[in-house]
Copies of this chain bind each other. A is one copy, B any other.
């Protein structure tokens, strides 16, 4: 207890010296804070490397889901990714305009539209998934393979 690391009395007023880093032990003891920082760190690398494909995180998630779930509906994507239907409309429309996906009438439900990757879409997702896997390795390079598996397992234990 009472680790001397970054120890600084709350009485004296030395925190304001510019250049000094702050005592963040309280925040760093929280799962939420650390989860956000972790996501932000990966997110930065993701944005850098995926710009080459013209894909943001949501774009990648949607395309990757369609690669493994051909014919999925807009509604299913929304439920899976926890996004609101109106916010998916322009994304789908853009992907369609880029020739990456196509909308086909749904076989069982006249209200719904089945979403499918085009040949170009399949190729792009294949490359993008490979890039994401590499980028994730690099962004979490300080973890061993076993630690990475443990981390993912524990995170899923929280939210799943």
Contacts and interface: CB of A to CB of B under 8 A. Distances in A.
Main secondary structure of the interface of A (DSSP, over half): helix
Contacts of A154: 143, 147, 150-151, 154
Contacts of A148: 31
A87 interface: no
Interface residues of A, number: 74
A61 B27 contact: yes
A36 B82 CA distance: 11
Determine how many copies of this chain the complex contains.
Answer: 2
A13 to B, nearest CB: 4
A43 B32 contact: yes
A69 B30 CA distance: 18
Contacts of A61: 27, 33
Contacts of A38: 31, 35, 155, 158-159
Contact of A157 (B33, B106, B142): B142
Nearest to A25: B68
Interface string A109-139: 1001010000000000000010010001001
6 contacts: A15-B72, A16-B109, A22-B77, A24-B65, A142-B157, A147-B154
Closest 7 pairs between A and B when the two form their complex, measured CB to CB: A32-B42, A15-B69, A16-B71, A35-B39, A41-B159, A34-B155, A151-B154
Interface of A: 8, 10, 13-18, 20-43, 46, 57, 61, 64-65, 67-73, 75-77, 79-80, 82, 106-109, 112, 114, 129, 132, 136, 139-140, 142-143, 147-148, 150-152, 154-159
